[in-house]
A and B are shown apart, each in its own frame.
Chain A
Amino acid sequence: MSADMTNQHTPMSFREKSAWISLVLLLVLGGIYFWNFALILARRPAFSDVELFFGVVAALVIAEVVLHMAIAIRSPEEARTPKDEREWLIDLKATRVAFFVLLVSAFASIGTVHLPLRDPHDHTFVMMHGVLFSIVAAEIVKFGTQIALYRRDA
């Protein structure tokens, strides 16, 4: 048999690259946003929360579009191919894990009302960011699980 036929290792698929892009962007931009949130609570914010929120969302959308276009140009056939049954199964498994994270983290966000904050008005602000953090954390776990499952099958 030829080397190609016996080779079990496959290069990273388009979907795995896509998951890596989303994971790294969420880690970096989410990290910046929640770092600034911690600074706001310490009354030493680097940016206004509203400005940073819209800035991070805009940067996330632009970076996702540009980077996905870049990997689609490198492998146009793969990018056009719809997900097959194995990829859907990986998606579903990852979403199931992420949902559990979202659920636990969202409930924990409700618990922030009991935090001893200096200003009672901060509770709404903290809970809102708790819910936002839950969404970001769930997405990070989803993409991380997808990558792990893609790697396990590769």
Chain B
Amino acid sequence: MVIRNTIRRLRFDEDEMTQQELADKVGVTRQTINAIEAGKYSPSLEVAFRIAAAFGVPLEQVFQYDDAQSKTDRPRKV
């Protein structure tokens, strides 16, 4: 996965926010937060911004694009 995220760390820093609490703030299901956190699903730009807003941090603090890995990874089929 070429997009890494720090959601787990941010949840920990936010007084151990649960996935369900974050899901409620963002407006998605807990399973979707779990999939994003595990790097199994890349959210839309809108959801990515909402996650960043839920933590009160800029988008790039939550999601980082791994350029080096993107050159070795084959694009995932949709």
Query: Which A residues are closer than 8 A to B by beta carbons?
Result: 1-2, 4-6, 8, 10, 13, 78, 81, 84-87, 93, 150, 152-154
- Bound: A93/B27 CA distance, A: 22
Query: Which B residues are closer than 8 A to A by beta carbons?
Result: 8, 11-12, 16, 18-19, 27-32, 34-35, 37-38, 40-41, 43-44, 47, 78
Closest to A81 in B: B29
Contact B28 A2 (CB under 8 A): no
Contact A154 B8 (CB under 8 A): no
Rounded to whole Å, the gap between the CB of B31 and the closest CB of chain A is: 5
Contact B12 A8 (CB under 8 A): no
Contact B29 A78 (CB under 8 A): yes
- What are the residues of chain B within 8 A of A152 when measuring CB–CB? 40
Q: 10 nearest interchain CB pairs?
A: A84-B28, A153-B35, A86-B32, A13-B31, A153-B40, A10-B34, A1-B12, A84-B32, A84-B29, A8-B38
Q: List 20 A-B contacts (CB under 8 A).
A: A1-B12, A1-B16, A5-B11, A5-B12, A6-B8, A8-B37, A10-B19, A78-B29, A84-B27, A84-B47, A85-B28, A85-B44, A86-B31, A87-B29, A150-B31, A152-B40, A153-B31, A153-B35, A153-B41, A154-B35
